[in-house]
Structure 1
């Protein structure tokens, strides 16, 4: 069944701020086109690089925050990437827009069944127009939220070439002809901080202002942020004004209770990683050492932030003699949240009601296109309902102003 359903505009609703400003979404996603690595990876790596394959999908189960996936030539067709030992299929739950809620399953899907806006930049702009969205920042799918796919690869020479190929495609093809409406978001070679710094410089030189990173790199088997290993990366991002975007799940580990809990448990608790990461970064002293560094918690929501800040401030005040705070934080943790960090939400009425504590300058908005949580094509209506009663200036900041400042965009300048 095709996902190309009739286009719908969000309905107008009364509010206290007038017409909703055009949205700048700081968290959307792209399905990589089948030609990406054939076109952008140097030819000498083609035999060892990712290959697009369309074949049947076999058993696909979600158990305890991990997928069990098999191919089956006689099964329903799906589009895959084959890369080293990895077999990566696209599934309906990550290519969900245009399907009904009951159709957003773990079944495989081909690009022919997807809405073209998932992988075609010109069609994406049309879907953004339908949804009252002016600009969009898109996370990768096959490379995963911060490039874990290439970090886990055995052949790091090819992996580095894949990182660069993905970034070249992102900057030049996905975003290149969009008039700035598609905002480049790059990945880095996570396995080598010096290579990561070089990739930041290479892309900042061509105007890129956003990079993916893991919310908890230690979960990926990488050095933790407490070691100082990542300081050169943080330093170059601060110097070149590149925002570090950490998506939920970018640690390849989702919060869970029982090991056999259904996926609904992880989906309900996904904000926990953002909360843990925020405490980790603040108490590691990263914002204190890099006061102009910008950290964005993509799809982390925000209703949890008031208590998290209250508790961290209490620990800073009451537990500093034994809890490892030391002299790393001359200011309260809440100070560093407001100085360095941005929350991102799509549905969070409790968070909106807590803006006086969170801070109206630290909140951004998203549509999560094309995932199950996406509000497309009704994002305008949902935003108006969430923000009803707020003043015009606050709405502007949430819907676009804070994103412009966070990502150094040229809109409205």
Structure 2
């Protein structure tokens, strides 16, 4: 098979939830507690601009060129387009994509809520909505369900609910409270592993994404949020979470992936060198941290030539391509060209895995569907 004919499976695509999803279907008492991003739905650009101190004297561009090229002329139209299965499939045909792993947009701010009851209601509302609107409409859509992590027992119940419903992954915040090496999480890891669902962690979740304000803040904040991925991945590998749950996979979405070789080699180096200090390295792992990261950690990228150059260090399985539709930093409507350019020097079996094969296995797509025209 040629590189230009490989089935593309985007491991990172989004639905844009309308604001009314939250404001019309939750009790008024809960709506009052929602973050502004959920109250506004997809129209969050101006809010971010004000928070980081830009856009005060110029119009903020709230709709991306990609969204316009897909056929949306305003934010409301974009919400309708991304949640309409027929229109979404038409966009996928335009971009030569066979299937998508789909995540929320404004819903990613749910974990900033302090009230567990409101957070739990938001997660259940989104999960049932996205199943009805997309997951149940086409085998080319595999959607992640949001997990309410304020209470482990409630989280386990929602994991079972989304697994029974047929959603494809458990979406959790990138930064845990408490941190993910805490023993309180162990029952949840076991419950997720039993379902066979992968855990998905999207950049910017579970913490304030705005580290900086003023000049240079937008790009610097994005890089800072992506740095949370190696922090969490190494913690999961060194704390024995991965060793104890070999069937549990973690997918770090929209964090790029060139941090993988750095995190693997750095964790291995200090895992070995810190053995000189009694009691520093615990628990005692049967393998080096990189062994578990190669086996169970994955990162998605849109454009990241450095990770492609490092496949001999990371292995192929950890690296997943995603279009990030419909966002400005995504590859639509040139996804095929972008993938072909970046993977041009990669052996065809490895390229097939990165372009969609590994995502298809993790999210359990029907392989026959991916090769059929639509």
User: If the length of structure 2 is used for normalisation, what is the TM-score?
Assistant: 0.84
Considering fraction of residues, name the structure with more strand: 1
TM-fit CA distance, 1:211: 1.3
Q: How does 1:4-403 map to 2 (within 5 A)?
A: 17-37=2-22, 41=25, 45=27, 48-49=30-31, 60=47, 62=49, 66=51, 92=61, 97-98=66-67, 110-112=75-77, 114=78, 116-144=80-108, 147-149=110-112, 152-154=113-115, 156-177=116-137, 179-217=138-176, 222-254=177-209, 256=211, 261-322=216-277, 324-403=280-359
Kindly indicate whether the alpha-carbon contact (under 8 Å) linking 1:216 and 1:277 is maintained by their aligned counterparts in 2: yes
Distance in 1 (CA, whole Å) between partners of 2:87 and 2:268 is 46
Q: Deviations over 1:15-54 (max 9, x none)?
A: x934331211111111113553578x47xx3664479679
* Most deviating of 242-251 and 114-123: 114-123
Quote how far apart the aligned CAs of 1:205 are: 1.3
Whole-angstrom CA distance in 2 between matches of 1:172 and 1:57: 25
2:174–2:228 CA contact under 8 A, matched in 1: yes
Change (3 A) 1:52 1:302: closer
Distance 1:355 1:204 in 2: 32
2:4–2:336 Cα contact (<8 Å) kept: no
Q: Distance in 1 between matches of 2:275 and 2:136?
A: 49
**Residues 359-406 of structure 1: CA distance to partner in whole angstroms, max 9, x if unpaired?**
112211100011121110001001000111222211211111101121
Matched residues in 2 for 1:226 and 1:161: separation?
A: 26
Give the 3 Å change call, closer, same or farther, for CA 205–234 of structure 1 in structure 2: same
> How far apart, CA to CA, are the structure 2 residues paired with 1:57 and 1:236?
34
- Segments of 5+ residues of structure 2 without an aligned counterpart are 370-374
Question: CA-to-partner distance for each residue in 1:293-313, whole Å, 9 max, x for gaps?
Answer: 111111121222222211111
Mapped partners of 1:234, 1:187: distance in 2: 15
Q: Which residue of 1 aligns with 2:372?
A: none
* 8 A contact 1:297–1:344 mirrored in 2: yes
What is the count of residue pairs matched by the alignment? 356
What is the distance in 2 between the residues matched to 1:59 and 1:345?
Answer: 26
Find the aligned partners of 2:44 and 2:100 in 1 and give their Cα distance.
31
Task: Please tell me whether the aligned partners of residues 288 and 328 of structure 1 are also in contact (alpha carbons under 8 angstroms).
Answer: no
Contact 2:130 2:143 in 1 (8 A): yes
SS at match of 1:19: helix
- More helix per residue: 2
CA deviation digits over 1:323-356, x for unaligned, max 9? 7322342210110011211121110111111111
Q: Which moved more, 1:306-315 or 1:378-387?
A: 306-315
| Whole-angstrom distance in 2 between the partners of 1:346 and 1:241 | 26
2:17–2:107 Cα contact (<8 Å) kept: no
